[in-house]
Amino acid sequence: MAHDQPNKNLHMQDSSTEFSAPVRALSHKGHGVVTHPDGRVLFVKGIWTGEVGRFRVSDRAKSYDNAELISLQERSSDRVTPPCAHVETCGGCPWMMVNEDAQARAKEQRITFLLDKNGIAVSERRPLLRSPDFFGYRNRAQFKTDGERIGYVSEGTNDLAPIDDCLILNPSMREILKGLRAQLPQSVWRPVGRFPWSFLDVDDQQTLKDVVPNQRRPFRQGNSAQNEQMKAWITKTLQDVAKDAPVIEAFCGSGNFTEALVQVGFKHILAAEVRGSAIEELRAKQMAGVQIMEINMSEKKVWQQLARQNPKARVLIVDPPREGLEERAGLFESLPLLEKIIYISCEPTTWARDLKDFQKSGWKVAHLTPLDMFPHTPHVELLTLLTR
């Protein structure tokens, strides 16, 4: 959210480390935004827009530092009692203290703010696609362990927050966590070198005996039901495109969306991804009509290289990491026959930056559907169709 710059010439009105203030907005990380009496803007975990609280802050803190909630003086009607015993120490579900409707509104409001701030026009905007499961949805996790305890790392620290259960994990994942806890203490999980803990990458496609410390699993969308909604949205959005039209899919990973394109009949797909385990998994699927290209999408002249392999592409699908499309130069010049761009984003700020550039190049947002991949967090996916 936007924050007013404090007046540097403002005299200190209150030098106390404690102060009361209303919560005027939520930050992009989902923390409450409050203003100290001396003008500093501060972030506070565990509070909601419209609430009033008593806060503590270091007298050496600068603007945009964190403050600590001491007590709530006025509570939001959206507030609920979190059912998780670890919500205060873990920090992975910062919005669990408010209801589902409030979380959905906050995600919609953030998107509206970014569209307005960047002057992005949207022809059709649909409501947030909510997760069918508000709890018990997550199909993968990365646990941390020192060999004696297992849990997550508390937000903003290197401190291990032990857990005995996690309510956002799906039933299979909760069983795996239970099995891992039963193995404690576990000497082979002890950290090595300078690291304070080891990590355990786990998903619901493996068994307990397959879990290996400090070994990453291939990326998967973390909410299986929502992943199916994303694939359904892509195929519906492209239903009027001739299936012999050439398609470029950048950041294809292990072929999650590639599979959906093949299933609806696209015959000429260039799937591009950086070298690694994901592209090896894609190769193993041996999908008909899919040409695989190993390339780093952050390279200079990446679009020229893709165009040499698929110069007549009419559809471009991009699903970049949080950094967005870091390399955008030459995209439209290299692929002049593009008719549709599907941009799937997991980070609204870089998404808005990129769409602003697209708009300057003569493209418009024909359709936008936000999707709630991770309830209880500020995270929101954006499913976007751009046309000339």
- Which residue has 């397959």 as its token pair? 210
User: What strand order describes the sheet that includes 160-162?
Assistant: 160-162, 150-153, 140-145, 198-203
Half-sphere exposure at residue 233, Cβ-oriented, CA atoms within 13 angstroms: 23
pLDDT at 12: 38
Give the mean pLDDT of 14-40. Answer: 90
Is the model more confident about 17 or about 248? Answer: 248
pLDDT at 14 over 60: no
φ, ψ dihedrals at 72, nearest 5°:
-90, 130
pLDDT at 232: 98
- The residue among 257, 252, 249, 254 whose CA lies nearest residue 232 is 257
pLDDT at 245 over 50: yes
Distance CA 137, CA 168 (A): 6
Q: What is the CATH number of domain 18-76?
A: 2.40.50.140
* Active site residue ranges: 346
Q: 77 is written with which tokens?
A: 């009607």
pLDDT at 157: 83
φ, ψ dihedrals at 200, nearest 5°:
-125, 105
Residues 69/44, Cβ–Cβ less than 8 Å: yes
Distance CA 315, CA 10 (A): 54
Residue 8: band (very low, low, confident or very high) from pLDDT cuts 50, 70, 90: very low
Residue 5: band (very low, low, confident or very high) from pLDDT cuts 50, 70, 90: very low
- Distances in Å between the Cα of 238 and the Cα atoms of 122, 313, 341 are 18, 14, 10
pLDDT at 3 over 90: no
Q: 173 is written with which tokens?
A: 């994942």
Q: 290 is written with which tokens?
A: 């899919």
What type of residue is 191? Answer: P
**Bridge partner list, 54:** 20, 71
Q: 4 is written with which tokens?
A: 């007013």
User: Tens digit of pLDDT for each residue in 68-117?
Assistant: 999 999 999 999 999 999 998 998 999 999 999 999 999 999 999 999 99
pLDDT at 256 over 60: yes
User: Tens digit of pLDDT for each residue in 270-296?
Assistant: 999 999 889 999 999 999 999 999 999
Distance CA 23, CA 336 (A): 48
User: Tens digit of pLDDT for each residue in 298-357?
Assistant: 999 999 999 999 999 999 999 999 999 999 999 999 999 999 999 999 999 999 999 999
Mean per-residue pLDDT of the chain: 94
Give the mean pLDDT of 361-377. Answer: 97
**Bridge partner list, 144:** 151, 199
pLDDT at 2: 41
pLDDT at 1: 42
Distance CA 311, CA 333 (A): 11
Q: Is it true that 18-76 and 105-132+223-387 share their CATH fold?
A: no
Residue 189: band (very low, low, confident or very high) from pLDDT cuts 50, 70, 90: very high
**Bridge partner list, 367:** 385
Share of the chain above pLDDT 90, in %: 90
pLDDT at 44: 96
pLDDT at 9 over 80: no
pLDDT at 13 over 70: no
pLDDT at 53 over 90: yes
Backbone conformation region of residue 330, classed left if phi is above 0, alpha if psi is from -120 to 50, else beta = left
Residues 131/164, Cβ–Cβ less than 8 Å: no
pLDDT at 227: 98
Residue 16: band (very low, low, confident or very high) from pLDDT cuts 50, 70, 90: low
Residues 202/110, Cβ–Cβ less than 8 Å: no
pLDDT at 58: 87
pLDDT at 262: 97
SS3 368: strand
Distance CA 280, CA 289 (A): 17
- Which residue has 């419209």 as its token pair? 50
SS3 224: helix
Hey, where are the domains in the chain?
Answer: 18-76, 105-132+223-387, 140-210
Residue 219: band (very low, low, confident or very high) from pLDDT cuts 50, 70, 90: confident
Give the mean pLDDT of 144-149. Answer: 97
pLDDT at 4: 42
DSSP H stretches of helix in 119-217? 171-182
Is the model more confident about 178 or about 2? Answer: 178
Distance CA 67, CA 56 (A): 6
Distance CA 145, CA 7 (A): 45
Topology, domain 105-132+223-387 = Rossmann fold (3.40.50)
Residues 370/128, Cβ–Cβ less than 8 Å: yes
